[in-house]
Structure 1
Amino acid sequence: MLIMTVAVSALDPASVDAGATAHYGDPVREQRLLTDAAGLVDRSHRGVLAVPGADRLSWLHSLTTQHLERLAPMTGTELLVLSPHGHVEHHAGVLDDGTTTWLDVEPGSDLLGYLQRMVFMMRVEPADVTAEWALLSLVGPDTDAVLAAAGVPPLAAPDVLPVPDAKFATGTVGARPTAMYAAAPAFGGWVRRVPGGADLLVPRASVDEVAAALGVPWAGIWAFEAMRVEARRPRLGFETDHRTLPAEAGWTAPGVHLEKGCYRGQETVARVHHLGRPPRKLVLLHLDGVTTDDLPAPQTPVLNADGRTVGFVGTAVRHHELGQVALALVKQNVAAGTVLHVGPSTAQVDL
C-alpha cells in the first residue's frame, strides 16, 4: 500500500519541526492509533548530546534543576537549565547508561554551548552526536506489549514524585530524581519508559530496522503534538517565553528537585514555590472553531473580555475528539470556564 508522507517543511519551512514528518496521509487516524493502540513517531530531528566522563552526574547535578548525583544506570529523567533569575533556558530528556549521560533536546538547542563553557576542570566531554543517534517515540496504551513482543524486558512505569506543599518540611523530598524513567538496552541503543509511551535512542542508520522490529504503524508529529497538548505537557519554545518559570509551565514535578544543592536560578524557584502562587499557569483552551478554521500561531496573545492581554498561546492543534484546542500560558487569576479571545476565535479555559 502506498503511504503518502507529508513533511512539515512542505507546509511550514520555518517551523522548528521542519525536519519531521507532519503526517502519513491521515492525521486523524494517526491520533486514534496513539490513543487506542500504539504508533511510532520519528522525532529524529531532535538534538542528541552525549556526556561521558567520571564526573558527569555530579557536574550535571550542580548545573541543573534535577537531582542527578545518584542517578542509577539505565534510568532516565528530565532536567532544566535556568537563568540566574530562574527563567527556563533549556529542557532535556535524560538517560544514563552507566558510562555516558544522554540528553535529547529541542531542534536548534544551544545547550551544548552552555555545557562546554561550564566544563572547567571536570572529567566530562559533552558532545553533539545527533548525526549518529536518532530519537523515536513509541506512543500509546499498547506500548508495553509492543516492546515485549520485540524482546525488550519489562520496564517499570514512570515514577514521578508528587510536588510537596509550599511550606514542606526539610527531608520531605527524597535524594533522588523527582521523575525516574526505567530504561534498558535495546536495538543497539536504549529504550526509556516515559509517560504515555517509550522513547528509543537508536543508531540513526538502524531506524528502519527498528521500525520493522516493532511492527507498528508510523504516526506523524501532528498526532504526537495533539497527544502532548491533551496531556498538557509543555514544550520549550512553545509554552515558554524568555521569562517563564518552571512552576508556571508545570515542570516542577518531572524536572525540579526542591531540596538539592545550589544551582543557577534556585533562589527564584524556592521563593515561587514557598509563596505557592506563580504569576502564570499552563491551561488548556477550547477554541470555538466557528469564526475560522485556521489555528492560532504560537505566541498569539490571549485576551480577556475587556481586551486586555492575559497570556499567549503555545501549541494549537486539531484534536480528533476535543476539536480545536491549545495550550496557553495565562495569568494566575484566570479562572476555569473564563471566556477569552484568541485572534478571531472565542476560547474557554479548561484547567
Structure 2
Amino acid sequence: MPVDLVPSPLLAVPGAVAGVPEGPDAAVAWHYGDPFVEQRAAAQDAAIIDRSHRFVLTITGAERLTWLHTISSQHIAELGDGRSAENLDLDLNGRVLNHFVLTDLAGTTWIDTEAERGPGLLDFLRKMVFWADAKPEAAPDFAVLTLIGPKAAAVLSALGVDTVPDVYEAVPLPGTNGFVRRMPWPTADSFDLIVPRAELARWWERGTAAGARPAGLWAFEALRVAALRPRIGIDTDDRTIPQEARWIGDIGAHGAVHLNKGCYRGQETVARVHNLGKPPRHLVLLHLDGSADSRPATGDPVTAGGRAVGRLGTVIDHFELGPIALALIKRTIPADTQLEAGPMAAAIDPASVPADDEPQAGRAAVDRLRGR
C-alpha cells in the first residue's frame, strides 16, 4: 500500500477484497465477491463504490477561483456556486502533472485527485498563492463515495436529495456538511458524494439500504476504461500532453482544457499542437486476447511486428467486453494493425480512434496568407 494511505473502514464489509497490495487502490475494496455482477449493477441498476482513497483539499478566500484560473488549464474564473469542472496542472513543456475535479460551493472550492499526487498538487498550489486571497488546505476529514447507475437518482432521493443535479452541478447533501455532484463519466448516471470521513460507513449503509449494490473499484475502473477516460499516472506517463489523453475541451464539452483562456503554465505547448501540429500519440481502447495464460501490466509496451508503438495503461476485465485496456498509441498506426500487448494479441477498437483529419486553425491561416 502507498505510504500514508490509510485502509478504508469499508474493507471490513463482509466479502470485501482489497486492491492489489502496494498498488494505488490497496486502501479500498477491489470487489465484494462477484465483480461482474457488481459491474452490471453499476451499468444497469445502481451501485455504490468506495473511493475514499482520493486526496481531498479545499481552497477558501475571495480570490480562490480567479487565482486558480491563472495557474490551471480550465476556464473557472466565473464558475458559479454549485458548479464543478475538471482541470489540469501542466509543467512548462505542457506535460500533464495532475488531473483533478473541483467543485465550488458556499464559498469553498473543493478539489479531489489521486492519493499519490495530492500532496504534490497541494504543495504547488501553496507555492503559487503569493499575494492572492486564496488559502489551499488539505481536507483529510472528507472522503469520496461514488454512486453509479440508471437508478442512482432514486437512491439519492431516498437519501433526501430533492433535486438531482445536472452534469458538473453540486448540491448539499442533507444531514451533513458534505455534498453530491454529478459527473459525466464513467456513465451518464454518475454521482460523487463528498462526505465527512467519520460518516463514511453511515452513508455507505444508507446507500445500500436505499437499493445501491456494494461494488468494488473494479466496477468503476472497467466502466471508466470503456468510456475512454484516462487515469493520471496509469494511463498517462511523464511525456503525456493533454491532446493525447482526450482532455481538451471546456466545461460544456466535459474536458479539462479551455483553448481560449489566458496564460497558464504549459499553455504554449497546448496552443502549438492545437494550431500547428498533431499529438504524437492518442489514447485508444484495446481489445485483448483473453485466451493467453498471463496478462500484460500497466506500462508494458504495445508492439507491432516486434516494434514498440505504444504504452499500455489500465488493463481490466469488463463484464460485457471481456479483457480490455487503454493505451497510448502512435497516431500514425492504422486501426487495423495487428498488435501485441505483453503476452497476448491486441486489437484497436476502431470506434475509439479520434478523428484528427481536420486542418488546424493555425495551418489554415498560414495557407490563406500564402494564397493556398
What is the TM-score with the length of structure 2 in the denominator?
A: 0.84
Match of 1:21 among 29, 35, 46: 29
Quote how far apart the aligned CAs of 1:334 are: 1.8
Corresponding position of 1:237: 233
Match of 1:218 among 210, 214, 218: 214
Contact 1:295 1:317 in 2 (8 A): no
1:138 aligns with 2:173: no
| CA distance in structure 1 between the aligned counterparts of 2:106 and 2:341, rounded to whole angstroms | 47
Gapped runs of 5+ residues in structure 1? Answer: 159-180
Match of 1:114 among 124, 145, 150: 124
Corresponding position of 2:196: 203
Higher relative CO (CA 8 A, sep ≥ 6), structure 1 or 2?
Answer: 1
Letter of the 1:183 counterpart: A
Worse-superposed segment, 185-194 or 77-86? 185-194
Corresponding position of 2:182: 193
| CA distance in structure 1 between the aligned counterparts of 2:172 and 2:72, rounded to whole angstroms | 26
Corresponding position of 2:18: 7
| CA distance in structure 2 between the aligned counterparts of 1:52 and 1:135, rounded to whole angstroms | 20
1:62 aligns with 2:70: yes
Deviations 1:314-336, CA, capped at 9 Å, x for gaps: 00001111111000011001222
| CA distance in structure 2 between the aligned counterparts of 1:46 and 1:135, rounded to whole angstroms | 7
How many residues of Structure 1 are paired with residues of Structure 2 in the alignment? 322
1:123 aligns with 2:133: yes
Instruction: Provide the alpha-carbon RMSD of the alignment.
Output: 1.3
Deviations 1:169-227, CA, capped at 9 Å, x for gaps: xxxxxxxxxxxx01100042110111221111010111122123332121001111011
Corresponding position of 1:346: 345
| CA distance in structure 2 between the aligned counterparts of 1:317 and 1:221, rounded to whole angstroms | 11
Corresponding position of 1:266: 267
Runs of 4+ in 1 over 4 A off after TM superposition: none
Query: What SS does the corresponding residue of 1:346 show, helix, strand or coil?
Result: strand
Contact 2:295 2:343 in 1 (8 A): no
Match of 1:77 among 80, 85, 97: 85
| CA distance in structure 1 between the aligned counterparts of 2:274 and 2:157, rounded to whole angstroms | 40
1:97 aligns with 2:105: yes
What is the TM-score with the length of structure 1 in the denominator?
A: 0.89
Contact 1:295 1:324 in 2 (8 A): no
Letter of the 2:221 counterpart: E
Gapped runs of 5+ residues in structure 2? Answer: 1-12, 250-254, 353-372
Contact 1:17 1:107 in 2 (8 A): no
Letter of the 2:261 counterpart: K
Quote how far apart the aligned CAs of 1:276 are: 5.5
Deviations 1:114-156, CA, capped at 9 Å, x for gaps: 11111111111111112x0001111112222221232213334
Matches within 5 A, 1:189-338: 189-195=178-184, 196=187, 197-214=190-207, 215=210, 216-253=212-249, 254-275=255-276, 277-292=278-293, 294-304=294-304, 306-338=305-337
| CA distance in structure 1 between the aligned counterparts of 2:339 and 2:128, rounded to whole angstroms | 44
Percent identity, aligned pairs only, is 48
Corresponding position of 2:369: none
Contact 2:165 2:182 in 1 (8 A): yes
Letter of the 2:288 counterpart: L
Corresponding position of 2:163: 154
| CA distance in structure 2 between the aligned counterparts of 1:235 and 1:136, rounded to whole angstroms | 17
Match of 2:169 among 182, 204, 218: 182
| CA distance in structure 2 between the aligned counterparts of 1:312 and 1:102, rounded to whole angstroms | 32
Letter of the 1:302 counterpart: V
Letter of the 2:281 counterpart: R
Contact 2:286 2:325 in 1 (8 A): yes
Letter of the 1:13 counterpart: P
| CA distance in structure 1 between the aligned counterparts of 2:122 and 2:261, rounded to whole angstroms | 23
Contact 2:156 2:164 in 1 (8 A): no
Quote how far apart the aligned CAs of 1:252 are: 0.8
Contact 1:249 1:282 in 2 (8 A): yes
